Structures are given as structure tokens and as C-alpha cells.
Amino acid sequence: MIALSLQQVADVVGGTLHDCPDPTVQVTAGVEFDSRKIVPGGLFLALPGERVDGHDHAAAAVAQGAVGVLAARPVGVPAVVVPAAGAHDRRAMALAADTDGSGAAVLAALARLARASVDALPGLRVVGVTGSSGKTSTKDLLAAVLAPLGTVVAPPGSFNNELGHPWTVLRADADTRFLVLELSARGVGHVAALCEVAPPQIGVVLNVGTAHLGEFGSRAAIAQAKGELVEALPAAADGGVAVLNADDPLVAAMASRTTARVVLVGTSPSADIRATDIELDEQARPRFTLHTPQGHTQVELAVHGEHNVGNALAAVAVALEAGASLGQVRTALAGARAASVRRMDLRTRADGVTVINDSYNANPDSVRAALKALVSMSRGARAAVPRRSWAVLGEMAELGADTVAAHDGIGRLAVRLDVHRLVVVGESARAMHTGAVQEGSWGEESVIVPDVAAAIDLLRREVEPGDVVLVKASQSQGLWRVAEALLADDGPRSGPDQDSNSNSNSEQAEEGQQ
């Protein structure tokens, strides 16, 4: 964050100072909404939530080093108090859980503060990423390929909504060259509002899927929402670049909605940045021939699943636009691993059981991709004997009228892919089990269990050395506990340890939307 005095913060957000003996004291360490993460020089965001009210922790935050608080009411310590949010701040209303609108007021002030910070950094290049699936994986790849070119700020996990988005923006300072942002939406107009907070120069649209179809109503509405990103880009003459998926007709059609220069990526012959000769190794890590206007090269990815080819192509397009060479891109992609927790996080126990923890979130498109990766791993080209594959799946939330059909389709796909065992967790996902049974002559190959504890018990009894286990569901189902239990049964693990509670204080800022 750029350094600002409390008086300057008040001026930017339209607030007033309370209990502030020194208006010139400067915020030098950024904004935090978790009082436990405040460092000296920080600004504490007093945001009302479903379980706690940040205003109750204002004094503790100041005692820990915050120079002030951004609040909706006086809190007895130095604070910038903002007025109630108006109609123009309805984007913030969508996140606020409190009934008096104070949360919306604070979020609206945070958005104004973030915009002022971006406007004060003329050398900053903002890259926005949206799509029904793959945003976080692509964001991580973008951070990796841009890092050789300069300092990159990108969100941890999926900080991509009205709280996480401006919070991430305020991480950028004078030393930051690239700001990579995810943009999510629960409806038409949300992506456009996020673009107002940090206007992007480069926009990436990955896909238009069926996730959260219950909120949008149709894929056409999803496409309308996602295309708001390219509409917000500057014209080509002013440096605007739209990176669009040539393999998704709804995305490719967005070229007509922007005045920015369009770069198409994909496997289609029409793509400017294209992948051919795609192969997967025994851990479903893709390798392919990359074709670009600058030439072609062989690329090997360290991330898992063929779906990451498209994500990598988008990252390549942005990196080349930013001035990277093909050699830099190839090297960066070879070393880029999943930086966000519970997304195709692959660990192998000492007994050879491989656990794929992809439990952060789920929609029909991402589950299909994960199932294909699971099967590819279980039948790796170097495996003398195919490994048994387990798909432990839970509810895909917010699908509206398509809920039953979507879950049924996933169950049927598991049969067609010849997954060894399907474990459906919870009654809300029963249609997966029903679809699997109806698709094939399965008996105990598909089973439904009532909850996470029952899934863990079943797996502990029946998983054998060398098996591959995929765990995936919407975040609300908490299926990561299954993956963690399986790994806890083992001693040494391959891969770095990750704190299973690393997002416990971040849920309100993360993706609960598309």
C-alpha cells in the first residue's frame, strides 16, 4: 500500500476522524481485516461478519500496532468513520452480512481506498482473470511467469470478491510491477464493479461453464457477466489486451465486446497461442508443443491435469505481452506449482497411496477435469499395472434447477471413465450415486455415505497401497478433512506441508462465487 496519513485516508474514503490526536500519522503497512494479523503501521478494517464484529476488536488491533481503524462507527481508538453506504455502493451490500448496512459502508470505503492506491501507481500493470473455473490456478501460473520480469502481487487463495479484491490491490506499492487479480461474480455487474476498483490493462477470460447456474439462470447470463472484464479494458492503442479462450465459443465471441487487442489461446488452429501434441505423464502433468508468434518450444508443466494446458496458455499470452522470452516462459512454467491450498494438491504416502486434495471448490466443469486427471494418474504410461482409482465426491453447490442433472451426469461420467470406486458423500449429492448405478452394472463400485466421518472410515478400511484417491466437493462440504485424515495416517509425506487452517480467517474474502 502507498503510505497515507489517517487524514488522507479519511479524505479518500469520505470519512471523518474520531479519537485521533494525530491526523498526520501514516499508514505504512497495509490493511488487515483480521486483528491477529495486524503489524505496526497497519490499518485495521472493522468489518461486521456473521460470527464476529470487527468493531469489537478495534482496540486490540491498535494495541498490536495499527495506527487506526476503518470503521462504521466510533470505536474509542483512532478511527476513520465512514457514512452509511449509498445506492452507488450496492456492490458492497452484496457481501455485508449485517442488517444495518455498516459492513457495506466499510467495504465501499475499502474499494475507494484501493482505487486511490492504484491511481497513485502509474507504473503498475494490472492483469485481471475471470472464468467459471480455473481462475486460481491461472492466477498462480501468471504470478510464476511474470516474476522474472518484476515484482508481482497476487492474491493468496481465491481472494476475488468485494473484500478480497481490494485487500489484494492494497498489497501493491511503488516496487510492484504486476498486480494479478481474480474477478468473481454472483451476477451481472459484479465483474464490472471489481474492474472499477483496479482497472485492468490485460484481461483473461478462461471459460463460460455451468458453475453457479442457479444464481445466473443461464450460460448466456454467465457469459454476459464474464465479458464485463474485456469491456473494461482500454483500447488497443492505449495498451489494452484481451486474452480469450479460442476453444470456448462463448468466450471467443467476446472479441466483439472490446476495443482492446485480442489474443486467442487454445488448441484451435485459430489460436494465436496454441498447444499441440499434448501428453500426460504418470502424474497427469502435461507436456506439449507451444506455438506462438515468437516461435515454438516444448513445455512441461509441474501442475496436474490436462485442463491446466489452457490455463498455462493464458499465462503464456500475458507473459509474452509483458515482454518475456519463450525461454523465460518455458523455465517458469516448468517450476510453477500450485501455490493455493486444496487445488490439485498431490501427496503420496509411504505406502504408495496418492491423495489428490482438490477439495477447495467444485462445479461440473472442474469435477470433470479432476476425474480425467485421476484416471490418467491411475493408468500412467510408466505403470506396469493400473492403480486403483477412488473418486470421493460431495455436493456441487449453487446449481439451481440443474442440480440433479449435473450430479447425475458426474456419476455417469465416473462409470464411463472406469473409475474403480465412487464414494458419494452426503444426501445432497445422492444423484451422483444414482447416475453411476443407472449408467453401468455397478454394485459396490458406487456407494453413498452420510458424512465425512463415514467416508473416512470406509477409506481407511478399503484403500490399499498404491491406490489413487481424489477428494473434491464445494468448499461448504469440508471434504478436505477426508484428504487430511488419509495423509495423517501416514508418516513421511512427499511434498511441502501446508497448514490445513491457512484459510480459516479468510473465508469472507475468498471465492464463494463464480
Cα three-residue angle 198-333-203, rounded to 5 degrees:
25
Question: What secondary structure letter does DSSP report for 281?
Answer: -
Residue 24: Cβ within 10 Å count? 9
Q: In what order do the strands lie in the sheet containing 152-153?
A: 152-153, 178-182, 125-130, 202-205, 241-245, 261-266, 273-280, 286-292, 295-300
- CATH code, 345-498: 3.90.190.20
The pair phi, psi for residue 324, each rounded to 5°, is: -75, 155
**Rounded distance between C-alpha atoms, residue 85 and residue 265, angstroms:** 41
Which run of H or of E encompasses 459?
helix 452-462
Cβ-contact 386, 395 below 8 angstroms = no
Q: Which CATH architecture has domain 121-335?
A: 3-Layer(aba) Sandwich (3.40)
- Is 3.40.1390.10 the CATH number for 4-112? yes
Query: Of 195, 202, 198, nearest to 324 (Cα)?
Result: 202
Query: Of 147, 178, 148, 142, nearest to 315 (Cα)?
Result: 142
Residue 439: Cβ within 10 Å count? 17
pTM for the whole thing? 0.85
The pair phi, psi for residue 408, each rounded to 5°, is: -60, -45
**Rounded distance between C-alpha atoms, residue 347 and residue 468, angstroms:** 10
Each of the 514 residues of the chain gets a pLDDT tens digit; together they read 899 999 999 999 999 999 999 999 999 998 999 999 999 999 999 998 778 899 999 999 999 999 999 999 999 999 999 987 654 554 444 444 443 567 889 999 999 999 999 999 999 999 999 998 889 999 999 999 999 999 999 998 778 889 999 999 999 999 999 999 999 888 889 999 999 999 999 999 999 986 666 677 788 999 999 999 999 999 999 999 999 999 999 999 999 999 999 999 999 999 999 999 999 998 899 999 999 999 999 999 999 999 999 999 999 999 999 999 999 999 999 998 877 788 889 999 999 999 999 998 889 999 999 999 999 999 865 555 789 999 999 999 988 888 999 999 999 999 999 999 999 999 999 999 999 999 976 567 899 999 999 999 999 999 999 999 999 998 889 999 999 999 998 744 444 333 332 323 445 666 444 4
Residue 458 corresponds to which cell in the numbers above? 470406509
Spans of all domains in the chain: 4-112, 121-335, 345-498
Identical fold for domains 121-335 and 345-498, yes or no, is: no
